[in-house]
Copies of this chain bind each other. A is one copy, B any other.
Amino acid sequence: MLNESSAYSLGIDIGGTKISTAVVNIKGEIITKTRIPTNAEKGVSEMVKRVVNAAEKTLQSSNLEKNKICGVGIGVPGPVDYEKGVLIFAPNLSGWRNVPFKKMIQQRINLPVYLENDANAAALGEKLFGSGRDVNNLVYITISTGIGAGVIINGKLYQGSTGTAGEVGHMTIDINGPLCECGNRGCFEALASGNAVAREMREMLSSGKSSVITKWVEEIKEVKAEHVFKAAREGDVSAKKIVEKTCRYLAAGIGNVINLLNPELIIIGGGVSNAWDVIRNPVMKELKKRVFSPNLDAVKVVCSHMGDDIGVLGAAALGFMNSKNFHDRCF
């Protein structure tokens, strides 16, 4: 039986550059946390070894006995075969294919392990610990270098028929638009991701347009989306133009999700959500134009409040959500 004293979960968030592990209680409070570099180029086995070491260390520093942990959730940056517990493909992890993470980690860590795509895990994290707590139908949209989503329907994660629901980044929003890395034209991700924002500014600068960013270039080395948003906050005209254009695209993509799913809540996460202060109003204004009005009236669009911890909290949510006792108790 799961009770308050045994209600902990171990979350592991495997990202392209870093891996976070954390022991989390049932309220979503992080008890202990560890962060290590991913170093995917050193291979899968080496990485799994380090992940398990980091997880054991995190557990030790929490001073909790292993039997207090109801499960281990792992968020990975790619599609997952749920039956087999296999990461199918991860462009951000040296292009790894068919990695049986669940089995590899479970046999070393000796606790039930659950593997999930990171955007799906984040949606679960928001449902269990965040703004989605009392909401049955919500979509978590992560806008970072790429764009992905996790969909909660009737209070449960909707994975789709083969586990790859939520591929919002490749929705067409501008059929004749710029090429996306997927080979298609006008994908949401090609127009409104952090990469797209940075690309727009680099193109503007190389075409000779002026921006306060030119003064920062020596220090920042590479122009990133965060610099564009910072410049827009400072009133930079070029940056403000890019932000305005991006918000129009953001609203088109987010609006498509609202029109199709009529959710109660959209939660925006990922790097671009750090610019929520700059993008909120123009996105909302454009959504009013683009969304069927009953669907707009029904939805709240908010920014995630979990910051960088969303990955590891989402992973920990997996551990809880899959625990049968927890499920019986909470749903």
A residues at B contact (CB < 8 Å)? 79, 88, 136-137, 149, 151, 153-154, 158-168, 170-177, 182-184, 186, 248-249, 252-253, 255-257, 259-264, 289-292, 294-295, 297-299
* Distance of A182 Cα from B261 Cα, bound (Å): 19
A173 and B173 contact, Cβ closer than 8 Å, known pairs A165-B262, A262-B163: yes
* Distance of A5 Cα from B139 Cα, bound (Å): 44
A260 and B262 contact, Cβ closer than 8 Å, known pairs A160-B137, A172-B290: no
Query: Shortest CB–CB separation between residue A40 and chain B, in angstroms?
Result: 21
A162 and B262 contact, Cβ closer than 8 Å, known pairs A175-B252, A289-B184: yes
> Would you call B292 and A172 a contact (CB within 8 A)?
no
A256 is contacted by which of B172, B248, B299 (Cβ under 8 Å)?
B172
> Would you call B252 and A295 a contact (CB within 8 A)?
no
Minimum CB distance partner of A187 in chain B: B290
Contacts of A299 in B (CB 8 A): 161
> Would you call A262 and B172 a contact (CB within 8 A)?
no
A161 is contacted by which of B168, B177, B183, B298 (Cβ under 8 Å)?
B298
A-B contact pairs, 10 of them (CB 8 A): A137-B160, A153-B153, A153-B154, A154-B154, A160-B262, A161-B299, A163-B262, A174-B174, A175-B177, A260-B260
> Would you call A260 and B294 a contact (CB within 8 A)?
no
Instruction: Specify how many copies of this chain sit in the oligomer.
Output: 2
> Would you call A249 and B290 a contact (CB within 8 A)?
no
> Would you call B79 and A294 a contact (CB within 8 A)?
yes
Additional pairs, 16, CB under 8 Å, beyond known A151-B261, A160-B262, A183-B289: A88-B294, A137-B161, A154-B154, A160-B261, A161-B263, A162-B298, A164-B294, A167-B295, A168-B259, A170-B291, A171-B260, A173-B173, A175-B177, A182-B292, A184-B289, A260-B261
* Distance of A264 Cα from B292 Cα, bound (Å): 26
Contacts of A292 in B (CB 8 A): 164, 167, 170, 182
Which 4 A-B pairs rank lowest in CB-CB distance, beginning with the nearest? A160-B262, A165-B262, A172-B252, A162-B298
